[in-house]
Amino acid sequence: MRKIAFFFAALMLAACTGAIEIPVPDGQEPGSAVSATPFLCAPSSDPSLQELAPVPAIPEPSTVTAGFASGTRTYLQSSGDVTKVLWSSGDGFDGIWTDSSASSFRYARYTTSGSGAAVDFTSGYSLPSGKLFFFYPEVGKSGNSLRIANYYSRLAVEVRVPVEQTAIRGNVADGVNVAYAFASSDQGNLTFHNFPSLLRFRITGSVVPDVVSVKLLGSQQLAGDVIFLPDSAPAEIPGVSFGDAVSSASVTLSGSFVAGEEYYIALIPSTQIIRLIFSDAAGNSTTKIAGKEIDFTQGRIIDIGTINLGSKLEDAKPKDPDLYMSASSGRTPVSIAVIPEGFRESEMSTYETLAHNAVDALMDTEPYRSYREYFNVWILFANSRESGASVTDGNGNITQRHNTYFGAKWGASNYGDMSASGDVVYGFVQENCPDIVSGMHSIDEVPIMMIINDSRFGGICHSTSVGRGYAMVPYTDRGGGLAWGFPDIIAVSDSDPSAGTRKVTNDEKLAFRVNYGDWRNTAIHEFGGHCFGRLADEYWYTSVYPATSSLSVHTWTVPFGLNVSATYDNPPWKADLLDNLDNLIARDSRYSRIGVYQGGDVSPLNRWRSETVSCMIDNRKYFSTWQRELIVKRIMELAGATFSLSDFFAKDVTEDPLRDAVASPVAGHADSRTYRPVPPLPPPVFDY
């Protein structure tokens, strides 16, 4: 029979302990010889995630009758919209028994020589009564493996929906559909449920024979690894993630296509905004986009109808990547990617100008200005169907949708919920940035600046533990003036949090200066500070926000926020700066700004920064000495060069253009624009 069956795949809990792999080769009879191998990861801090210990199966014959739930619509021997799932001779599935606490398991394999909608399956081993879970296809088929975990005393199972699928007329390929059943005994009847959802479509037009692939792109994860709880129907997907999970917002269906025939793409049950890209062997393509969210329900077929491709695949081709700045120093260029969001094809020239302006502003800011010869800056192009970005209610729920390439969205007045489809962002840059395509860098080593064709205020950086990240920078007020000021309160004592806070005086505000700028300052802060420099914010709010005793992000593979300290006595900049401060001041009096100042990381207390004011407070074109050092260290690392502290100081430029270059209290307010006071930009988002 042809059946819709997904592989089960290797996946690992982020909390980690509690997952077991059952590696069963083809043809091996399960029983006492079956081994269980725990994942190699740190012990879980969550006592609910416990390793499942293997127990030998009982060598006793067992027979069950297996069929599929009524209303199941994911196997494709169909009459109209009603489908049946049929077994055929040689089919098999695996049975898993777990004890009452889901802390150990037994395993048995069942096979059939029959065919039909409900047939008998037999095994040489029986499972005791209790929590029984049955998984189709049997482990070992198509190279799949079964991994299970205890999730709050419930059996948790991981499944991989393949990112690459084969086009089959009227059906799906073997090994693409996972089905499962649960019972309290291995005697009697089993009712199987299908895990995936299926998208069904037909294509017409004279160009159909030329189509070799259909790529489905979604607004969130479509394929890859996902964990689910199978002891209910439909199964629950609890949102637990795994440290080595495969996650993709796209699925590619490859093969030959016939006009008018039905084709299917399997995907993880989810709610998606989708687009389909139909391509031929020469790379020509046509993109079709759904204008609304689609609910892909587990075990159901979602029919999107017939798509007419006409006589030619003719998407407007975006421009090739433009190398705006080329490295001349270092063993390896330090690569940056700039991408457009919400720019239609006719607006690409505007985007290109804005991209140049943002990069120029960054490279005119120290230490980027002094190290610009290390950088490759790639301007990438992607056309959106509509201008702008989607508007949300402030909590991520879209109230006004814009059909854009990366799905950017945020609130009309609340910009803290700014986000885009990270999978699409990273996938696009990985496929189109020449320095990644050539193997020079990985996606984790190429920070991304997203310039958004939207006039709302905002800006945010999304970062991950392995280093990849993108900064969202809208063209706020269409280039109009923005003004950022110093916080209204400040710590009474830099060394004593218990002393509390006080109001900042007018004289202090005049000394700090108001930063008059525009959307390019957002780019410097979000991209140059957060995304590339991996710096934490150093501002704080008027309300006293609690601060924990340590920065948890420091445990990441790629540390973030090393510019702020959770201790007053031993901050990260002590050895390089504080212990050498007299010598530094003798070289340049501006180094006297270095110290240990309370306030940062959105809290006025219990966090310390190295200077009173910097770009990470009010977006001025000035990074503190310690921030400059951290940025240069990253530049040297990516360039394959050795960082030298003495070389850094020999090349270091200490000037703050806002305080040092202009005597006026309104330094930077050098033109006739009206400047709108705006609040601090939101803290970065740590996606995983």
DSSP 3-state percent helix, strand, coil across the chain (nearest 5) = 20, 30, 50
Quickly name the fold that domain 317-688 has: Collagenase (Catalytic Domain) (3.40.390)
pLDDT at res. 554 = 55
d(CA 383, CA 428): 12
Provide the token pair at 218.
Answer: 């979604």
Q: What is the DSSP string of 172-233?
A: E-TT---EEEEES-SSEEEEEEE--EEEEEEEESTTGGGEEEEEEE-SS--EEEEEEB-SSS
Q: Report d(CA 271, CA 332) in Å as an integer.
A: 41
Under 8 Å between Cβ of 593 and 622: no
Q: What are the DSSP calls for 410-429, one per residue?
A: EESS--TT-B--HHHHHHHH
Pairing of strands 448-452, 469-474: parallel
Task: Retrieve residue 452's tokens.
Answer: 């958004």
Q: What is the pLDDT of residues 628-652, one digit of tens each?
A: 999 999 999 999 999 999 999 999 9
Beta bridge partners of 598: 608
- Cβ 196 vs Cβ 177: under 8 Å: yes
At position 327, the amino acid (one-letter code) is: A
Give the per-residue pLDDT at 117. Answer: 80
Q: Do residues 242 and 309 lie in contact, with contact meaning Cβ atoms separated by under 8 Å?
A: no
Which residue from 543, 528, 607 is spatially nearest to 572, judged by alpha carbons? 607
CA 542 → CA 515, 536, 598, 661, 681, distances in Å?
Answer: 19, 18, 14, 30, 14
DSSP 250: E
Give pLDDT, residue 82: 45
* C-alpha angle 150-154-159 in degrees, rounded to nearest 5: 70
Report the chain's C-alpha Rg in angstroms.
29
Which string of DSSP letters, residue by residue, matches 521-555? HHHIIIIIIIIIT-PPP--B-SS-----SS-GGGG
> Which H helix or E strand runs over 516?
strand 515-517
Question: Left if phi > 0, otherwise alpha if psi is -120 to 50, otherwise beta: which for 313?
Answer: beta
With CA atoms as reference, report the closest residue to 594 among 649, 647, 552, 533.
Answer: 649
What is d(CA 531, CA 524) in angstroms, rounded to the nearest whole number? 10
Classify 236 as helix, strand or coil.
strand
Residues 404/385, Cβ–Cβ less than 8 Å: yes
d(CA 269, CA 507): 59
Collapse the DSSP code of 67 into the 3-class scheme (helix H, G, I; strand E, B; otherwise coil) and give the result: strand
- Model pTM greater than 0.85? no
Q: What's the CA gap between 50 and 365, in Å, rounded? A: 51
Instruction: Check if the beta carbon of residue 311 is closer than 8 Å to that of residue 203.
Output: no
Give the C-alpha distances (Å, rounded to integers) separating 6 from 33, 43, 162, 196, 394: 26, 30, 7, 8, 37
DSSP 132: E
Please provide the distance, in angstroms rounded to a whole number, between the alpha carbons at the two ends of the chain: 41
> Residues of 140-157 as b/e, b for ≥16 C-beta within 10 angstroms?
bbbebbbbbbbbeebbbb
Distance separating alpha carbons of residues 607 and 561, to the nearest angstrom: 11
* SS3 state of residue 503: strand
Distances (CA, A) of 502 to 382, 487, 505: 49, 11, 9
Q: Can you give the pLDDT at residue 132?
A: 84
> Which residue positions in the chain have pLDDT lower than 50?
1-52, 70-82, 142-143, 548-550, 552-553, 663-670
Beta bridge partners of 596: none
Compute the Cα dihedral for 399, 400, 405, 410 and give only its sign.
Answer: negative
Question: pLDDT value at position 545?
Answer: 57
pLDDT score for 450: 98
| Amino acid 25: pLDDT | 30
243: number of Cβ within 10 Å? 16
Residue of 31, 58, 200 lying closest to 129 (CA atoms): 58
Tokens 């959106």 correspond to 384
Indicate the Cα dihedral angle 304, 225, 409, 278, nearest 10°. Answer: -40
Largest Cα separation within the chain, whole Å, is: 91
Q: Are 626 and 563 in contact (CB under 8 A)?
A: yes
Q: Domain-by-domain residue ranges, the chain?
A: 19-308, 317-688
Torsion of CA 304, 306, 307, 312, to 10 degrees: 160
